[in-house]
Structure 1
Amino acid sequence: MRREQLEHAIRAATTIVQQSEIIVIGSQAILGSWDEDELPAEAVMSVEVDMCPLVDDDAESLATEIDAVAGEMSTFHETHGFYIQGVGRRTARLPLGWETRLVTVTGENTAGAVGLCLDPHDLCAAKLIAYRDKDRIFVAALLDASLVDSALIAERLTWVPDETQRAATARAWLTPWL
């Protein structure tokens, strides 16, 4: 994925949910901090952008609407070669205080809409809590490229509520980079 595609996704998703801001919580939030040419290939290979409406109901109706309009196998996906996965706030297990560290993406290509992208270290902590193969590959690529600090990720893992065992597993996985 490219930064311009992230910006397009921000513009599209905010239009769908009729809000001026949207949270980018998936791996492509990394494009809020670096352009694709500064990132390892493993960090930008996804064709999916996970986005969470800033305000949604308990049923996550707006997230569902994003999926219906711009999700996988939609006309949007077929037309643009990437898709937007609408998600709720409970999707990712994030470190406490993550909302204060969001990286803002806005500009001409977002038509003034704002994408609130996870801080890279919060993103890596969430990926390691999920602990899927693709998430570990993503984090390892960022670590190997010296774009994120392993000690800061390890600290952020301790800030994820109710995930003591998963955080311990993730910290053990980080050991080679510490």
Structure 2
Amino acid sequence: MAESTVIRTVADLDRAVRALCEYFNTDTTIIIGSQAILVGWPDAPALMRTSVEIDAYPCNAREWEAMHPDAEASEEISVLFGYLSDFHTAHGFYIDGVDETTARLPPGWRERAVSRAVHSYGRMVSAIAPATNDLIVSKLHPLREKDKDFIRACHQAKPLDIAVVKQLLADTLPSPHVHNAAMAFLNTLK
């Protein structure tokens, strides 16, 4: 398996978007998780692009599932493009099949979303991802060490408007535990 680097690139993003758009016969793929940063900030710091996976789902996942009642889009992605798949072996990264409930994103994130046009087999398709502030909020919910590193790297490269991030976090109605941990962490950012 060709995993010489775990730094994801725009070429990787485009490859993932093309694969999902082609397989699911759609013109839009939603990217969430850390590699969503590639959609609006392709040259983000390497630490923010360090991952062996891209979390994604086709925008027509529910319609596709209605036409394939015995299948789940996220499972289909995992089998065909996921960990240890032929796609993973060929490209050195995999697509983690997720859905619209995977990341805890603030209300209205789609109106603030960033997009990227991708050439795909003679047509144009799109990658849609949460804007940076919304992506940061999604990382504040689990707030694992890798999420903290991601947020710190983001803030160091392009300082966050902490007040906006705090409001977006509040809009997600987090549990008191999540809210308190996130606020304490945000207050450490300088």
Q: What's the TM-score once normalised by structure 1's chain length?
A: 0.90
1:117 aligned to which of 129, 132, 153: 129
2:36 aligned to which of 29, 34, 44: 29
Q: Which runs of 4+ in 1 moved over 6 A?
A: none
1:68 aligned to which of 76, 79, 83: 79
Give the structure 1 partner of residue 88 of structure 2. 77
Counterpart check, 1:4 vs 2:15: no
For residue 18 of structure 1, what is the amino acid of its counterpart? Answer: N
Higher mean Cα deviation, 110-119 or 15-24?
A: 110-119
Tell me if structure 2 keeps the 8 A contact 1:129–1:163. Answer: no
**Offset, 1:102:** 1.1
Give the structure 2 partner of residue 13 of structure 1. 20
Structure 1 segments unaligned to the other structure (5+ residues): none
SS at 2:101 equivalent:
coil
Q: Deviations over 1:89-117 (max 9, x none)?
A: 11111111111111111133684111111
Tell me if structure 1 keeps the 8 A contact 2:20–2:57. Answer: no
- The alignment's C-alpha RMSD in Å is 2.0
2:164 aligned to which of 152, 157, 167: 152
Identity %: 33
Structure 2 segments unaligned to the other structure (5+ residues): 1-7
Change (3 A) 1:147 1:72: farther
For residue 156 of structure 2, what is the amino acid of its counterpart? Answer: D
Give the Cα separation in 2 of the matches to 1:103 and 1:8: 18
Change (3 A) 1:171 1:12: same
